[in-house]
Amino acid sequence: MAVSERGPRERMVFSAAQLIRRDGVAATGMREVAAHARAPRGSLQHYFPGGKEQLVNEAVDWAGGYAGKRVARFLAALSEPTPSGLFAAMVRQWTDEFQEVGFASGCPVAAATVDCAESTESTRTAAAAAFARWNRPVAEALTDMGVPAERAEPLATVMISALEGALLIARAERDVRALTAVAHELGPFLDGARTASRGSTGSPRTPAAPEPGRGARSGSV
Amino acid sequence: MAVSERGPRERMVFSAAQLIRRDGVAATGMREVAAHARAPRGSLQHYFPGGKEQLVNEAVDWAGGYAGKRVARFLAALSEPTPSGLFAAMVRQWTDEFQEVGFASGCPVAAATVDCAESTESTRTAAAAAFARWNRPVAEALTDMGVPAERAEPLATVMISALEGALLIARAERDVRALTAVAHELGPFLDGARTASRGSTGSPRTPAAPEPGRGARSGSV
DNA sequence: CCAGCTCCATGACAGCGGTCATAGTGGGTA
DNA sequence: TACCCACTATGACCGCTGTCATGGAGCTGG
């Protein structure tokens, strides 16, 4: 499953992302990608004449686009959109995955950044673009929810940073504790940023970790 | 410099951490570690009979201890200790490093987690222990500052998560923007957790990103 | 029928990885 | 002198990597 009936080229990009987010970039071999995608090895040099670098960059790019589009789906699933609700949905996607299929895989963009930020310029750029494609819709959603324009973008960065960091800790500990902690603690703070000019005077008692609309997930990555 | 006059064994652990945080675990070779530490190659199998796995684990362990001890130094440098001040100091260490020596290197624990969480159990455990050794002193400092006991530990996790995530983004973008954003935004929120029972009703106007005592850093890692 | 194209297949190559085996130091101690 | 020890040195091995070269399907169009 999950390897649906797309063309072999797209399957390879998808498989690359899968393997990268599990083992990292350096530990993921080209032959392994082809095998995982059930694609012929000879297709690698045909579809990706730029070699591994190109394949990795496309995988990172794909992941960035996926994360960005997912934000819209989360928003659509929220009955009453709030910053904390969006953040809880983003976090829940990961807690669900970890609890259902285990802690084997993390975020491919994080893996690419850690492995290639210094060694491969183009991949670093791709990772930066992926983060940007993720940050933008979150920031736009925040402004739509009433967050002042000048705070929307940094707050979106806070959300993504906290999520990525908690992801790391959760994988290391094999425990979703860190993820639930950031969702729980940051929820009221994010809601408090809506109308307040600054200083985060949150509404006195927003539900600590509001349940998102459920069913926001469509398919596991 | 930086490779001071410790024994060759410790130098190799230190060098391993340095190289891992720059290139990742898989891309860091044993021969490279020995060369970087100016240690004889033959010493590797003598000091680390457990091979690369042992060396990596000790490097991660070393990094965890270093991060933990650093918290105490940050606290000592703060004239009036506040959660936001501690967090700003933690973030500033990284913004300073990035601006002074560039974005080449990130956090070695994050790198080990991304590269080995699934493939090497012992390294994953070492990473979890490193996060714990970092989280504990932060949580203790928070309670000392008046944060309710039950929130201290999750809030410490929020701080470390946000820092690690912003670190990733900063390396990808080659810009400290993400780091300053989390410090700026989370500062008032953290201070607001001190006496409030919940809901983060921050003191109305804590300085947004309080300058830490400066001079908290001793030597670059 | 041949040409041209996309795509697939396979083998070879050079390089580097971690690890092992073996031998060699140098300095203490009996 | 003889012995033992911690430590160093070096070379070889095997496996795996990314990449390239070459050639073969299978179809389209003239």
Q: How confident is the model at residue B5 (pLDDT cuts 50, 70, 90)?
A: low
3-state secondary structure of B202: coil
Interchain contact, B168 vs A105, CB within 8 Å: no
Q: Which residue has the tokens 């963009």?
A: A109
| B11 alpha carbon, distance to own chain's centre | 19
A151 in contact with chain B, both atoms CB, cutoff 8 A: yes
Residue A208 has pLDDT above 50, yes or no: no
Q: How far is the CA of A69 from the C1' of D25 (A)?
A: 39
Cβ-Cβ contacts under 8 Å, B205 against chain A: 198-199
B26, closest nucleotide (Cα–C1'):
C17
A206 in contact with chain B, both atoms CB, cutoff 8 A: yes
A60 in contact with chain B, both atoms CB, cutoff 8 A: no
Window 103-142 of B: residues touching A by CB (8 A cutoff) are: 103-106, 109-111, 113-115, 117-119, 124, 127-128, 130-131
Q: How high is the mean pLDDT of chain A? A: 89
| CA–CA gap between residue B106 and residue A27 (Å, rounded) | 19
B44, closest nucleotide (Cα–C1'):
D8
Cβ-Cβ contacts under 8 Å, B25 against chain A: 24
Using one digit for the tens of pLDDT, what is the confidence trace for B145-181?
999 999 999 999 999 999 999 999 999 999 999 999 9
Q: How confident is the model at residue A207 (pLDDT cuts 50, 70, 90)?
A: very low
- Closest residue, chain A, to B160 (C-alpha): A165
pTM of the model as a whole: 0.88
Residue B202 has pLDDT above 60, yes or no: no
According to the model, what pLDDT value does residue B8 have?
Answer: 87
